[in-house]
Amino acid sequence: MGFAIDKIRADFPILLRQVHNKPLIYFDNAATSQKPQQVIDALVHYYTYQNANIHRGVHALSQEATDAYERARDLVKTFFNARLREEIIFTAGTTHSINLVAHGFRSWLQPKDEIIVGQAEHHSNIVPWQMACALTGAVLKVLPIDENGQLQLETLKSLLGPQTKLVVVNHVSNALGTINPIETIIEMAHGHGVQVLVDGAQASSHISVDVQALDVDYYITSAHKMCGPTGVGMLYGKKELLEALPPYQGGGEMIKEVYFEGTTYAGLPHKFEAGTPNIAGGIGFGAAIEYLNTIGLEEIAAYEHELLMHATQGLKQIEGLKIYGDITHKTAVVSFNIGQLHPYDVGTLLDRMGIAVRTGQHCTQPVMDFYGIPGTVRASFAFYNTKEEIDIMIKGVQRAVNMLQ
């Protein structure tokens, strides 16, 4: 493919370290991605040469920091093809973004209004809507998955109705890697005048996302899933919807005028960015997007698909191993169990071999309950991983099986 894997791996200093005296093999990318030196350098440069608060100072450092932070917003806007830069709200991450929107919906929801949520959602995209329903008397309805982890669109047809106010789904399942047909879901919901929020945390570094082409109402993600820093993320929303949404937090920056008799709020995006933001994180977010752009999402997707196919074929050779969400249309995630072996035991043995995988419910207990299992072993790959690493993992899984049986 001409994919410069050796050059790419050289950008990630953590890949040089050892764990338990073994070379690190990092397959927990769905939890958080590793950071290239270019992103690390951007953080260090800000704190070393530009550290100042933004939007509020006339001095040189403040202006430089403001320019760097707002340039990052423009990079995010372009990456997701938002129409306007003020439609990009910087948040603390995906969870913060969801809660921001859910808090706003509390002002609108009425008793018996309905919110439809996918069965395979991360807990962060379930609990805020449960809280909103508990406070307003609205009803939470569940869009179920099938045995392959795919949302049942025929059921969505029957769930959508005059009381439906919002459909909430992920773009990609963090537990299974399943890519949901959000284009179809958005079209179906809009046909009933219903808004759609898409959790894109697991999609943003794997799939090209054009929010205008999707016509999505809200799209959210976290920088740390995209080779960026932790503690910063994005909420995209259509301008007219964000203008109607009430503020989530009060404080500095999000105000226009403050009197004891009342306060008027600033315009977008500052209306939702109260207080001093994660300035370094925002700048690092921009650096991560620049880095991903140098490689290209199409190239990344193609390479990661090769990794997925290689891992799937190899793991299926292990007797008794079952893959959950075993479909072609997915990102590079393999979630599996072997017979009656507990995933925690398998993951612990793999860790002693220097192989980092995730075990447990992956903050998706409803998915595990659906399959009747306590959890899975999840290996999630990124564009800086290799087939050779996957081969070592497969041998490691077989070794763990031999030790545990």
Nearest to 182 by CA among 158, 202, 205, 162: 202
Residue with tokens 């009656």: 340
CA distance 289 to 95: 20
Instruction: For the sheet with 139-143, list strands across it.
Output: 88-91, 233-237, 218-222, 195-199, 164-170, 114-118, 139-143
Please give the structure tokens belonging to residue 350.
């793999």
Are the CB atoms for 41 and 47 separated by under 8 Å?
no
- Give residues with Cβ within 8 angstroms of 402, minimum separation 6: none
DSSP string, 142-159: EE-B-TTS-B-HHHHHHH
Return the amino acid letter for 234. Answer: M
- Give residues with Cβ within 8 angstroms of 340, minimum separation 6: none
- The yes-or-no answer on residue 363 being catalytic is yes
- Give residues with Cβ within 8 angstroms of 379, minimum separation 6: 27, 311, 333, 334, 335, 336, 357, 393
C-alpha to C-alpha distances, 209 to 16, 173, 177, 213, 284, nearest whole angstrom? 32, 16, 16, 9, 20
Nearest to 142 by CA among 128, 123, 155: 155
Residue with tokens 């991560």: 288
- Give residues with Cβ within 8 angstroms of 1, minimum separation 6: 299, 302, 303, 306
**Active-site residue (options: 10, 19, 92, 363):** 363
- Active centre residues (catalytic): 363
